[in-house]
Amino acid sequence: MTGPNILLTRIDNRLIHGQVGVTWVNHLGANLVVVANDKAAGDEVQQSLMDMVLPDVIQARYFSLQKTIDVIHKASPKQKIFLVVKDVHDALALKEGGVPLEQINVGNMHYEEGKKQISSTVSVDEADISAFKKLEQLGVSMDLRGVPNEKGQNIMDLL
């Protein structure tokens, strides 16, 4: 096998929570959740809270974007990785940094001032749309869905 065994990458501004920590991990058969986000990588309190959501048999790592780029290729093939990022910009930085992202699940991007809501759980602004378009140009497929048993929608159809 070449490259890390990344089962799926999810964009979710909540990072690890019940849906991610239980539903997605079980669905994917992941044994490692890697949170790639600069802020979360340095926030031990947030990490402890996220660890509490995960089953004991699932490991979690909290890396900055650069550390993820630097170490993901060293992952053992036995590590079944569920990669979680906070936003589309983190995902794009990883892809442009050489992390082999092929499929992204867009789960949650909260509404903020200046963003338009494109689904019940996802709001975007022009910078987000631009980042999604770059990811598409780089060959990444992206679907929007909250939980595995939902029918996914191509995010590009909603932008």
Question: Would you state the structure tokens that stand for residue 77, as one six-digit string?
Answer: 């093939």
Tokens linked to 64? 């900055």
- Return the residue matching tokens 């994917």: 28
Alpha helices, DSSP H, located in the chain: 18, 25-28, 38-41, 44-53, 65-71, 88-96, 126-137
What are the tokens at 30?
């992941």
Q: Active-site residues: which are they?
A: 17
- CB-CB neighbours of 51 under 10 Å: 16
Q: CA of 138: how far to CAs of 21, 24, 80, 135, in Å?
A: 28, 25, 23, 5
